[in-house]
Structure 1
């Protein structure tokens, strides 16, 4: 059942076995995992509809350094399905090494291992509609040529894959399943503004729920799950300070700290020897119709030996804003950047004082390259605009076999990188966030040494030559600041309550019936986009709640053929 909270009686107290706050991928995954358990589930979503501007404005906040972090309301979306309405669909699991305690990575180590998430990763892959759980090209494409002909290395892996969701909008795709589930009630337009603990502080008594211009309500549940994302989760916990002055779960001043994203950017010049057909830099289509793409990474034994943070590199085209690439498609993207959404156009806007001469050079590129430009536009309309499973991103024919590397690297968890409550308040009276994202020298140095190993192995093989500027690397990587919507680590998982917020089951250490779902609970950021791990950890949490709250044990969620057909309806 799906309802609008504005239609409820003011002062109502809603009852449920499990209340999930936030209906993005994490919240939807927990709700679906509990759909057949017999437990009553209440799923709260702040947005009343997709693109709810009034609800979206509640995200606005302060940023300590706007050159390093996007505005607080960007890369996040209110409405059923949350930010899955705007994600790019890139899926890949964390690597086994990411879960280890690594002496060279301060504050690293998860209280669970890769094997604890593996069955849930498989289910998460189905939920994200990313096809078969196969993230190595040797398994997914056993008869396919390598990424670069003639390149093989035990140090630099070139067989890793990323798989792409449709991208699935979890609100549109699973709305019908949620509506038909007898034990699930979805309440839209319902903003949780407070967690009210029992007087002793050890359990959640009620939740305060408000609507914009409508009734205020309360929720009483046996268990509460915060699935609000890496920014709103600490905001709500810190703002709920009537019983614990520091905020819920914040007895040791950890909530909101260790905030991570990813360090990312296009760097260097990779010259591949041989023919353009010897390089597989684009997308391959798996037998199940899923787009896949290969990437480079440093093998785990070498990471341990050299003390490297995890990172990946993708073969990419030159910097779009520089017209010297002489590519009509890239220049067309630059000229059309004001018509592209902020989330995907941000990296086209690093020429704020662009001169008429710069625009003219880009225009001349378009005019000089009409056939490729027309072919690109035709392909984009057919395979991106009109397709249900969309072509993931811009990939261009590379006649010269010259590429940049698109890096995405892990960050060191730092207590000083944090989000806290700011001075202003939103329309419901909640204090807004103040975001102070930071990086450190080790983040940059590790990527430099990663590039050094890739360059050395490319040279050793004779397949390619990689060069880059160590002097400008930090500037190149931080040109756009923290990478996108990867908000990680602000309610981290761990064994020690003095250094973490939740335990191995995602339960807040000091509160018996309060849980956190999503990337806020990740202790480290890995090389990977977080969505697939968010889903896997959420499905694991759902199984735990089913076991704890009922006599019927919940298995990891699996989509049968019938369910997959229904989900696509």
Structure 2
């Protein structure tokens, strides 16, 4: 059943066995998993089916440095489906090494073993519509594939790991009907949670207060409560409710909002292939029709030996904003910059300024490459705009066999990288967020070391040369700031309440019935985009809650 909170009378009570706050990837996955459990589920969503400016404005807040972190209403969507309404669809699991205790990362082992989470990956893969849970090229493809770089050999990198791509699936659109017809699930739209009430002892949640922008106020009660609202909004809900300590729920030891991670990412260097060498940096389509892409993955043993974080890289087209690439479609994309959504424009263009001479050079590239431009536009319209399973990204094969390196690296948890509250209140009376994202010298070392190893391997293999300025690595990896949309670690999981917010099951240490789902609980960030692992953890939590409530 789906109802609209705006249609309720103020004071109308809502109750269920389990109340899930947030209908994004985590909340929807959990509700679907609980639909056949026999337990009643209440799924609360702040937005509706479509984006609404007034609702989206509830995400507004402050950032310490906008060059380092996008405004916090960006990359997040306050509507049914959450940020899956705008995500790119890239799926890959975390690696076993991510769960290990690594003193050089400054992290203890995750309190849950990797194999336990991995058991939920196949089901998560299915919900994300990313095909079979096979993330090795040798397992997925039973036909010869064009080598990533002909002749490349390395004892530092694997070229066999894959990224798989979702449609990308909008969880709200895709699973709305299943939620609507599930007899034990009620989804309530336009329902903004503004307060979490706890008992006098501060050991148990007694209820939630839900308000609409139209003025309706509704009390909610459940046996268990789950916050599935993302790595930033989780902090806001916890800190806006004082709890027993008066410092915010779960915040007795001042851990809520700390250790905020995204990923460090960028595009760097110039890879020139040797004469006669060829490369492939596009997508391979699996037998089930899934777009897959191979990447260069730094091996776990090398990470341990070098004492650096996880790291992956892909071959990439030359820097788009530099017209010396002489590629018509790249120049056309620069000329059409104003048409590209913010979420992607920041990554494609950064904050580079373009003068008249550069614009004219781009126009010249377009005019000299009309056939290539027409061919690309035909492909994009057919395989991206009109396709239900969309071609994932722009792939340009440089005529001069010159590429750049696109990298994606683990960010080390840093206690002073944090999210706090401001004194400003939104229209519902809740204090807004302030984000101070920081990186460390260790993050720079990870990228510097990984790139140096890659450059050495490329040269030693006779593939070509990777030229870049090591002294400019830090500037390149922070050119776009924090990788948008990956909000990790703000309510970290751990065995010790003094250093974490939730336990291995995702339950807030100081409360017996409040849980946090999503990447907020991840103690480390891996090299991987978080969505697939978010869904896997949500499914695991659904099983835990089912067993716990049946045993109660």
User: Would you say same fold, with TM above 0.5?
Assistant: yes
Say yes or no: does 1:165 pair with 2:154.
no
Match of 1:238 in 2: 239
Q: How far apart, in 2, do the equivalents of 1:108 and 1:473 lie?
A: 28
Say yes or no: does 1:154 pair with 2:155.
yes
Q: How far apart, in 2, do the equivalents of 1:267 and 1:86 lie?
A: 26
Say yes or no: does 1:419 pair with 2:419.
yes
Match of 1:534 in 2: 534
Q: How far apart, in 2, do the equivalents of 1:86 and 1:527 lie?
A: 21
List runs of 5+ in structure 1 lacking aligned partners. Answer: 553-569
Q: How far apart, in 1, do the equivalents of 2:397 and 2:352 lie?
A: 28
Q: How far apart, in 1, do the equivalents of 2:350 and 2:450 lie?
A: 26
The 3-state SS of whatever aligns with 1:131 is coil
Match of 2:104 in 1: 104
Q: How far apart, in 1, do the equivalents of 2:272 and 2:191 lie?
A: 54
Match of 1:468 in 2: 468
Matches for 1:172-251 after TM superposition, within 5 Å: 172-241=173-242, 243-251=244-252
Which digits, 9 at most, give the CA deviation of each residue in 1:515-542, with x for residues without a partner?
0000000000000000000000110000
More off after superposition, 161-170 vs 331-340: 331-340
Match of 2:332 in 1: 332
When the two chains are superposed, the root-mean-square deviation of aligned CA atoms in Å is: 1.3
Contact 2:320 2:349 in 1 (8 A): no
Equivalences, count: 551
Contact 1:19 1:44 in 2 (8 A): yes
Match of 1:306 in 2: 306
Contact 1:108 1:413 in 2 (8 A): no
Which digits, 9 at most, give the CA deviation of each residue in 1:448-474, with x for residues without a partner?
000111111222222232221111111
Q: How far apart, in 2, do the equivalents of 1:216 and 1:274 lie?
A: 70
Measured after TM superposition, the shift of residue 108 of structure 1 is: 4.2
Match of 1:9 in 2: 9
Q: Structure 1 pair 439/108, CA: closer, same or farther in 2 (3 Å)?
A: farther
Moved over 4 A (4+): none
Q: How far apart, in 1, do the equivalents of 2:444 and 2:3 lie?
A: 48
Match of 1:511 in 2: 511
Contact 2:49 2:172 in 1 (8 A): no
The 3-state SS of whatever aligns with 1:472 is helix
Contact 1:264 1:477 in 2 (8 A): yes
Q: How far apart, in 2, do the equivalents of 1:521 and 1:383 lie?
A: 36
Q: Structure 1 pair 348/281, CA: closer, same or farther in 2 (3 Å)?
A: closer
Measured after TM superposition, the shift of residue 144 of structure 1 is: 2.2
Measured after TM superposition, the shift of residue 94 of structure 1 is: 0.3
Matches for 1:371-382 after TM superposition, within 5 Å: 371-382=371-382
Match of 1:559 in 2: none
Matches for 1:29-428 after TM superposition, within 5 Å: 29-145=29-145, 146-241=147-242, 243-275=244-276, 278-350=278-350, 353-428=353-428
Matches for 1:428-507 after TM superposition, within 5 Å: 428-507=428-507
More off after superposition, 172-181 vs 5-14: 5-14
More off after superposition, 515-524 vs 139-148: 139-148
Which digits, 9 at most, give the CA deviation of each residue in 1:369-416, with x for residues without a partner?
111111000000000000000000000122222111101111110110
Measured after TM superposition, the shift of residue 58 of structure 1 is: 0.1
More off after superposition, 401-410 vs 385-394: 401-410
TM-score by length of structure 1 reads 0.95
